Amino acid sequence: MGIPGSGLAKGLAVTLRTMTRKSHTAQYPEVQPELPPRTRGVIGLFEENCTVCMLCARECPDWCIYIDSHKETVPPAAPGGRERSRNVLDRFAIDFALCMYCGICIEVCPFDALFWSPEFEYAEEDIRDLTHERDKLREWMWTVPAPPALDPAAEEPKEIGAARKAAEKQAAAEAKAAEEAKAAEEAKAADANGADGTNGAAS
């Protein structure tokens, strides 16, 4: 059993300690707050990566993502190839009046088209104006902080490794083609010089 009044004494001790400290008030909006790197402020859209797979809209528990698209026919990449169809994004909007900032849409996106931005100054007087279209989401994309640096001992990401190997392979093929072209030119020049020497000896 505790001493009677010990709780009150502890509370008064905390009050006395804080009374002697100078309070610090951030003068917002003149002074912007320092937000943590993983702040869930708003969702930015990197439109070029979006394939209109609709995973984000289907997995959203609040159904606050609206996507419209149409199909376009893409000509074959090589002669004799087959035409392909692809989805073209017409509308990508998020209703932040419904969004609960769970981040499921960002986690399920397989093509890294959605990112968290620390921006938070998007209050509106009318709740209907909280539905932001893809142009605004794209503007927020450029406020997304850079990812933290990888551990120097960490393995290279598969995407970067594959891109590097493809670049090295292409560079090697181009270098080989250049060497073959140079060798062919030298052989042609040697044949031409040999033919000139033969003609000169004959004359």
Q: Transcribe 118-158 into DSSP letters.
A: -------SSGGGGEE-HHHHHHHHTTPPPPPPPPTTSPPPH
pLDDT, average across residues 138-158: 84
The torsion angles phi and psi of 116, rounded to 5 degrees, stand at -80, 130
Model confidence band, residue 21 (pLDDT cutoffs 50, 70, 90)? confident
Name residues whose C-beta falls within 8 Å of residue 119's C-beta, 6 or more positions apart in sequence.
41, 42, 140, 143
Taking the C-alpha atoms of residue 123 and residue 42, their distance in angstroms, rounded to an integer, is 11
pLDDT at 92: 96
Give, in order, the Cα–Cα distances in Å from 26 to each of 4, 31, 32, 132: 40, 6, 8, 29
Residue 201 pLDDT > 70: no
Q: What's the mean pLDDT when you consider all of the chain?
A: 87
pLDDT, average across residues 151-179: 86
Measured from the Cβ of residue 160, the count of other Cβ atoms closer than 10 Å reads 10
Q: Which residue has the tokens 């809209």?
A: 57
Decide which of 191 and 110 is more confident.
110
pLDDT, average across residues 147-151: 78
Torsion of CA 156, 143, 59, 88, to 10 degrees: -90
Closest by Cα among 45, 138, 134 to 90: 134
What percent of the chain stands above pLDDT 90? Answer: 46
CA angle 82-168-153, nearest 5°?
A: 120
pTM of the model: 0.61
Greatest mean pLDDT among 8-12, 61-65, 141-145: 61-65
Model confidence band, residue 197 (pLDDT cutoffs 50, 70, 90)? low
3-state secondary structure of 188: helix
The torsion angles phi and psi of 90, rounded to 5 degrees, stand at -105, -40
Residue 200 pLDDT > 60: no
3-state secondary structure of 71: strand
Taking the C-alpha atoms of residue 67 and residue 86, their distance in angstroms, rounded to an integer, is 15
pLDDT at 153: 83
pLDDT at 35: 84
pLDDT at 98: 95
Residue 22 pLDDT > 90: no
> What's the first-to-final CA gap in the chain, in angstroms?
127
